[in-house]
């Protein structure tokens, strides 16, 4: 389903990146990095519009030729970025939304682990399993 | 509900444990330790509590969340009074603070109050720092079980 899932800290450094193994994984890192500007823009544009919903889910950040990039930001300014293939038309907005909700849930559970120091790279196996689940099912 | 009492007891034991192990005249160290435990707990809690809310509009919006939802989830009551000077100082007043209600209302245990307020101070500081607000939180007790938390926001 998703080809790349990334968690980015409040200070904009990566906490966790998982990609499907391809020959140019680095490209995804680049895509995720580029998307941060769009996330920033979306967050800061809020407030000008009174009727804004201020949802955590940011929607489609930008489409490229082969991929679509979706973003989500928590109240604590941790960003989640998911990259999916453009060819996958079965994925609707709602499914992406539930995917992010699940990822957020897993992140919260992971953060509540007393052995984890906030700001460290995520090495939790449970969290990784959720991410792998997001990337596998079709 | 029984879980509220458990939280109270756990906190009492936590305070007792840290002070039991400490050598005399190391009171500041104990307070700092409790505060940092509170900080870490606050960080986790806020992530969980804000999971299903929309993003906050501004600082005041965040403070209101702390006073209402956060306080309600942790202490089963809301803050009684929130005041601000609009220049980065907020005062949260709780007229019947949970951790102090079990002590007598007179001046007798006034000296013991600070050690029961270190953890709650850390809790607020941890929650706010996760939300992107760096601050200093101090507590003040003038008459037992009422308690004032002063939040001073640090601007870069």
Judge if ipTM > 0.90.
no
Helix axis angle for B27-49 and B113-130, nearest 10°, is: 40
CB-based contacts of B114, cutoff 8 Å, min separation 6:
B31, B139
Average pLDDT, chain B: 87
Structure tokens at A50: 């009174």
Residue-wise pLDDT tens digits, B126-150 = 999 988 889 999 998 888 888 999 9
What residues in B contact A100, CB-CB < 8 Å?
A: none
Residue contact B54–A54, C-beta within 8 A? yes
Chain B neighbors of A105, CB-CB under 8 A: 51
B-interface mutation test, from A50, A76, A120, most B Cβ less than 10 A away: A76
Q: How far is B48 from chain A (nearest CA, A)?
A: 6
**Residue B18 confidence (pLDDT) above 80:** yes
**Burial of A33 by CB count in 10 Å (0-12 exposed, 13-18 middle, 19+ buried)?**
middle
Does the structure show a pLDDT above 70 at A51? Answer: no
- Mean pLDDT for the stretch of residues B76-82: 89
Instruction: Say yes or no for a CB contact (<8 Å) between A118 and B43.
Output: yes
- Closest CA–CA distance from residue A76 to any residue of chain B (Å): 5
How much is the pLDDT for B91? 92
Bridge partner residues of B101 (DSSP): none
Sign of CA dihedral B63, B56, A13, A127: positive
Give the one of A55, A73, A76 whose C-beta lies nearest to B47's C-beta.
A76
**Which of A90, A54, A86 is CA-nearest to residue A70?**
A86
Task: Tally DSSP H helices, then E strands, for chain A.
Answer: 3, 5
Q: Stretch A81-85: mean pLDDT, rounded?
A: 88
Is A111 an 8 Å CB contact of chain B?
yes
| Integer Cα distance of A125 and B156 in angstroms | 37
A121 DSSP assignment: P
Chain B: closest CA distance from residue A112 (Å): 5
């Amino acid at each position: 389903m998703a080809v790349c899932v990334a968690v980015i800290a409040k200070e904009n450094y990566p906490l966790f990146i998982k990609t499907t193994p391809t020959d140019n994984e680095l490209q995804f890192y680049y895509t995720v990095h580029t998307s941060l500007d769009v996330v920033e823009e979306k967050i800061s544009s809020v407030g000008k519009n009174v009727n804004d919903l201020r949802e955590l889910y940011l929607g489609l950040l930008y489409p490229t030729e082969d991929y679509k990039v979706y973003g989500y930001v928590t109240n604590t300014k941790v960003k989640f970025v998911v990259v999916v293939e453009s060819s996958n038309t079965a994925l609707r907005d709602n499914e992406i939304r539930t995917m992010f909700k699940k990822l957020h849930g897993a992140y919260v559970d992971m953060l509540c682990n007393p052995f984890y120091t906030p700001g460290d790279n995520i090495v939790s196996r449970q969290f990784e399993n959720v991410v792998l689940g997001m990337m596998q099912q079709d | 509900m029984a879980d509220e009492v458990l939280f109270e007891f756990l906190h009492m034991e936590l305070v007792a444990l840290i002070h039991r192990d400490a050598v005399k005249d190391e009171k500041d160290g104990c307070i700092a330790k409790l505060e940092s435990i509170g900080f870490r707990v606050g960080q986790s809690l806020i992530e969980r509590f804000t999971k299903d809310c929309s993003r906050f509009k501004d600082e005041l919006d965040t403070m209101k969340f702390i006073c209402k939802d956060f306080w309600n989830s942790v202490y089963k009551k809301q803050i009684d009074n929130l005041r601000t000077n609009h220049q980065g100082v907020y005062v949260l007043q709780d007229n019947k603070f949970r951790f102090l209600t079990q002590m007598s209302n007179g001046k007798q245990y006034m000296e013991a109050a600070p050690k029961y307020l270190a953890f709650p101070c850390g809790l607020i500081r941890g929650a706010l720092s996760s939300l992107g607000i760096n601050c200093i939180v101090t507590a003040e007790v003038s008459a037992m079980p009422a308690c004032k938390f002063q939040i001073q926001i640090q601007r870069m």
